[in-house]
Every structure is written in C-alpha cells, then in structure tokens.
Amino acid sequence: MTLPRIGNNAPAFTLQNQDGQKISLKDFRDDKHVVLYFYPKAMTPGCTTQACGIRDSQKAFAKAGAVVLGVSPDAPARLAKFRERDNLNFDLLADEDHAIAEKYGVWGLKKFMGKEYMGINRITFIIGKDGKLKHIMEKVRTKTHHDDVLEILSSL
C-alpha cells in the first residue's frame, strides 16, 4: 500500500454517488477544497459515527470552503439507504471495484477477529483547490474525525 505524496496532484477519479450521478474530482477544481475520506462499509457502527460527525459539521465545512466526499466499495443503492437512514447531507461515492481506493493506496490487507482480508483502510485526504494533496490523515478517529479535518482545513 503506497499512498500518493503530499504536494503532488491528487489521483483523478469519476465515481457514481448514491443517486447514480457521476462525481469527478475535477468538478471542484479552483472552487473548493475536497475532503476525500475512505471508509470500509456503509451502515456499520464506526462508519456511521464518522459520517454523522461530518453531517453535523456541514456548515463549518462550507465556511472552510470545503466539500466532503465519502468513498466506500458499497453499491450506490446501499449508499442511498445509508444517506437516507442517517440524514446525511454530503455525497457518498461507490468504488465497487476499489480502483480508486487502489489509486489512493488505501486498499490493503486488514485483520479483524483473527481473519485477514482485503479491504479499505480508513484514511482521509485533503485536496486543495489547485488539485494537489495538502494533507493525509492515516490515523482517523471516527468520533473526532470532523473536528480533526476542520482543524487541518483552518491551516490551509
């Protein structure tokens, strides 16, 4: 698992959101910072905690000039259920073949309850308005993720 380098252009992507619309990184170029966070699976406890913190901080993200995009290997239909169930107010992107997770270096070996499997590692990328990687959060705490990201955005 090799992460892209800070200062380089963020890997480009176009993915479907929960409504089946195509969302591309270039859509936000020169307009907004992009908080691209990868999470393992929609509607699981840690992922829900993380998403709800972002939901509740949406005004602060907007004030910081940032858009938040969550990426998981879930299908758009599952993402739609997640968004509706938890009243999420940002786009969730479907990376079903984990091609974008691989580009960002977050697809890798995981261990849970004595089993090993391939999956998404919970990592967040902060991408500047210029399309360059500004910060990579490799240690994400689901309960404080939103505050941690906002603190980083305030220093950009």
47 is catalytic: yes
Q: Are 33 and 67 in contact (CB under 8 A)?
A: yes
Q: Which of 15, 47, 149, 152 is catalytic?
A: 47
Q: Which pLDDT score is estimated for 112?
A: 77
pLDDT at 1: 66
Going from N- to C-terminal start, the domains of the chain cover: 14-148
Residue 38 contacts residue 13 (beta carbons within 8 Å): no
In angstroms, the CA 96 to CA 108 distance is 15
| Of the candidates 96, 80, 95, the residue with the CA atom closest to the CA atom of residue 36 | 95
Cα-flanking dihedrals φ and ψ of residue 19, to 5°?
Answer: -100, 5
The CATH number fitting domain 14-148, selected from 3.30.70.270, 3.40.30.10, 3.40.640.10, 3.40.30.120:
3.40.30.10
- In tens digits, what is the pLDDT along the chain, a chain of 156 residues? 689 999 999 999 999 999 999 999 999 999 999 999 999 999 999 999 999 999 999 999 999 999 999 999 999 999 999 999 999 999 999 999 999 999 999 999 888 788 898 999 999 999 999 999 999 999 999 999 999 999 999 998
Largest separation between any pair of C-alpha atoms in the chain = 45
pTM listed for this prediction: 0.95
Res 110: pLDDT: 87
